[in-house]
Amino acid sequence: MAKNLVIVESPAKVKTIRKFLGTNYEVDASNGHVRDLPKSSLGIDVDHDFEPKYITIRGKGDILSKLRKEVKKADKIYLATDPDREGEAISWHLMKALKLDEQESKKVYRVSFNEITKTAVKNSLKSPRKIDMALVDAQQARRMLDRMVGYRISPLLWAKVKRGLSAGRVQSVALRMICDREDEISAFIPEEYWNLEAQLLQEGSRKPMKAKFYGTRHGKLVIHEKKEMDQILADLKDQVFMVEEVKTGERMKKPPIPFTTSTLQQEASKVLNFSTQKTMRLAQQLYEGVDIEGHDTIGLITYLRTDSTRIAEEADALARKYVEQVYGSDYVLKSDVSTKNNGKIQDAHEAIRPTDITLTPAKVKDSLSRDLFRLYQLIWKRFTASRMQPAVYETVSVKISAEEYLFSLSASQLAFDGFMSVYVQDEDKEENNTLLGKMEPKDVLKAVQLTPSQHFTQPPPHYTEASLVKALEEQGIGRPSTYAPTITTILARRYVTKENKNLYVTELGEVVNGIMRKCFPSIVDTRFTANLELLLDKIGDGTVKWKTVVENFYPDLDEAVKMAQETLESVKIADEVSDVVCDLCGRNMVIKYGPHGKFLACPGFPECKNTKPYLEKVGVPCPKCGKEVVIRKTKKGRRFYGCEDNPECDFMSWQKPSLEKCPKCGGYMVERGSKLLCADEQCGYTMNIKTKAAEG
Residues identified as active-site: 303
Phi-psi region of 619 (alpha: psi -120 to 50; beta: other; left: phi over 0): left
Spell out the SS3 assignment of 554-617.
Answer: HHHHHHHHHHHHHHHHCCCCCCEEEEEECCCCCCEEEEEEECCEEEEECCCCCCCCCEEECCEE
- For residue 241, CA distances in Å to 206, 221, 450 come to 17, 18, 12
3-state secondary structure of 30: coil
* Range 229-240 burial, b when 16+ CB lie within 10 A, else e: beebeeebeeee
CA distance 438 to 352: 46
Q: In what order do the strands lie in the sheet with 675-678?
A: 657-661, 668-672, 675-678, 686-688
Rounded-to-10 torsion of CA 124, 127, 129, 132: -50
CA distance 594 to 613: 11
Amino acid at 669: M
CA distance 298 to 356: 10
CA distance 464 to 570: 36
* Closest to 405 (Cα-Cα) out of 582, 240, 607: 240
- For residue 290, CA distances in Å to 281, 322, 373, 375 come to 13, 23, 11, 14
Neighbours of 154 (CB within 10 A): 16
3-state secondary structure of 254: coil
CA distance 274 to 287: 18
